[in-house]
A and B are shown apart, each in its own frame.
Chain A
Amino acid sequence: MDLAYQILVKPFADMVSAPDFLMQVLWEGLVSGVLYALIALGFVLIFKSSRVFNFAQGIMVVFAALSLVGLHEHGVPAWLAVLLTLGIMLVLAVAVERVVLRPLVNQPDIILFMATIGITLFLVGFGELIFGGENKRMITEQLGIPTGSFEFEPFGGLLSIQQADLTAVVGAVVLVAVLILFLNRTRMGRAIRALGDDHQAAMSVGISLSTIWVVVWFIAGIIALATGIVWGARAGVSFALEVIAYKALPVLMLGGLESVPGAIIGGVAIGLLEKLFEIYWGQPLLGGNTETWFAYVLALIVLLFRPQGIFGEKIIERV
């Protein structure tokens, strides 16, 4: 009886009794959620256009962040370093298309998936070789990201919003909005979606496979850099950052592998839910640290009932 009270009543009573704290929790959840959505979009774009599940997305985050910080360490001004890092991500995209995707075109999906694991391992080794394995600090101030915080007093309580978080959310929202416009309205965006639908048909209307692949991998690179900056600012730049990108996996299971709105809603939902669960159920009842696994358990539950994800396309297979 007491346990039922602890699970079913007390958390909600807490939420109502301290609405300012609830808002703080929701804000923190939203910040993570927007970032999850952004990374998930990187996966979705690549999957939509080439049916490749890009396991390397996580290491691309690390690699982008390392390149940025590394360049700055060598005396390159921060903004130039951002541009150069974008250049590096473009080179990476071209190289992946030439060396990995093009020779493997028309191979089974699993082969391409394995190839992205190969890219991951390569980037781990290559990154360590060039930048070393130790932790680095993200060059937050040099990039002009504000570090203070805004304080509000809703319901007579206290709500503190880190300016860096706010910048991250605004930045991510802008990036997502631009991506959606790009996908829906431009010739290139339509080509990406067309390619996801039918390769042969897409080629016959003049869409170049290789160009599109470079473009989507480059976009994934831009997303990786954005994620790397934001997450690097919170947790430092190290190879452990890779784990952040894997948080996109439950997002994708929830949202479906090829749905852009699914990735966005799924990302925000997971960010919010895992934070709420951690604060109101995890810490009092389970000793905390539930954020590491909550999203995955949630995804498993979703998979039980809707294997294609909540927004995914219906899987119809003839047997």
Chain B
Amino acid sequence: MNARPDPARLSDAIADGAVLLDVRNVSLSFGGVKAVSDISFDVLKGEIRAIIGPNGAGKTSMLNVINGFYTAQQGTIVFRGKERRAMKAHEAVGQGIARTFQNVALFKGMSTLDNIMAGRSVMMKRNLFWQMLRHGPALREEIEHRREVEEIIDFLEIEHIRHTPVGKLPYGLQKRVELGRALAMEPTLLLLDEPMAGMNLEEKEDMSRFIVEVNRHRGTTIALIEHDMGVVMDLSDRVVVLDYGKKIADGPPDAVKANKDVIDAYLGVAH
């Protein structure tokens, strides 16, 4: 896996100083359980940001807050310079946030193509009546979106399963289709929740390649949760580490790897 980002690019981004997403003092609890407490971190435009931590550290909850599935009890989120306490999931999509899920959330009965087309549906603006007749502007719009979707299918190398219902696909391919659907939304910020969970080495390498290419060629900012440390250290520009809902480290992969708290969190501490 030679996906290591160019250090020059990272410093550019930081020098550029363009903060795309700024999470400020976010806390979230379910009843008495604190899932996330007082967490702050930022995501710079154009970077790959990893969120890591042991199981139950609050990583997925954090993503859910960012894309509006959960509403944080405290704290704010600044996305593209706009400060908000909470947004609804469909508003987050409108703002340019797309995501994938840990356990793959796809439309299982629909084909790969239809699943990815579903990602475009937000952008279809034509009048209901044209759509019903599938004529004129609505038809042109549909064809145009279909072209984009075919490009994504080519990019992810899933042409052969274009018409297969996704429920029948192996897990690794489902994850790829899910990434395709997120890409179809042309997001500014892409949230990936364990994109490589349950994959074999070859699939992981493919997925890493796709992530890096999306980041480089499409300029999409990516925040990802991942357990495979090799992948995280290779892919990401900066890493934030959570443990028991708290932030314990934040910085470039090498610094985080050497951080004592992080090592303790992962390996356990002798008491």
Interface positions of A (Cβ within 8 A of B)? 178, 181-182, 185-188, 190-191, 194, 197-198, 200-208, 211, 313
Q: Which of B67, B94, B121 contacts A187 (CB 8 A)?
A: B121
Q: Is the interface of A mostly helix, strand, loop or mixed?
A: helix
Judge whether B107 and A186 touch: CB under 8 Å: no
Size bin of chain B's contact surface: 20 to 34
**Number of cross-chain contacts by CB at 8 Å:** 72
Q: Does B105 lie at the interface of the complex (its beta carbon under 8 Å from any beta carbon of A)?
A: yes
Assembly CA distance A188 to B129 (angstroms): 12
User: In chain B, residues 87-118, which have Cβ atoms closer than 8 Å to a Cβ of chain A?
Assistant: 88-90, 93-94, 98-99, 101, 105-110, 118
- Known contacts: A185-B134, A187-B131, A204-B67. The answer to whether A198 contacts B121 by CB under 8 A is no
Judge whether A188 and B94 touch: CB under 8 Å: no
- Known contacts: A197-B108, A200-B105, A206-B93. The answer to whether A186 contacts B118 by CB under 8 A is no
Chain B's nearest CB lies how many Å from the CB of A219?
13
Assembly CA distance A204 to B88 (angstroms): 10
Judge whether A205 and B132 touch: CB under 8 Å: no
Q: Which residues of B lie under 8 Å from residue A190 when comparing CB positions?
A: 118, 121
Assembly CA distance A203 to B106 (angstroms): 11
Q: Does B69 lie at the interface of the complex (its beta carbon under 8 Å from any beta carbon of A)?
A: yes
Contacts A203-B90, A204-B93, A207-B121 known; list 16 others, CB within 8 Å: A182-B132, A185-B134, A186-B128, A187-B121, A197-B108, A197-B109, A198-B106, A200-B105, A201-B181, A204-B98, A204-B105, A205-B122, A206-B93, A206-B185, A208-B88, A313-B109
Q: Which residue of A lies closest to B94 (CB)?
A: A206
Q: Which residues of B lie under 8 Å from residue A194 when comparing CB positions?
A: 107, 118, 121
Chain A's nearest CB lies how many Å from the CB of B102?
11
Q: Which residue of B lies closest to A313 (CB)?
A: B109
Judge whether A203 and B89 touch: CB under 8 Å: yes
Assembly CA distance A208 to B94 (angstroms): 11
Chain B's nearest CB lies how many Å from the CB of A164?
28
Q: Mark B114-151, 1 if CB is under 8 A from A, else 0.
A: 00001101101000100111100000000000000000
Most A CB within 10 A of own CB, among B69, B98, B105, B134: B105
Assembly CA distance A51 to B182 (angstroms): 25
Q: Nearest 4 A-B pairs (CB), nearest first?
A: A206-B93, A201-B105, A206-B122, A208-B90
Assembly CA distance A204 to B101 (angstroms): 9
Most A CB within 10 A of own CB, among B88, B118, B131, B134: B118
Q: Which residues of B lie under 8 Å from residue A178 when comparing CB positions?
A: 132
Q: Which residues of B lie under 8 Å from residue A182 when comparing CB positions?
A: 128, 132
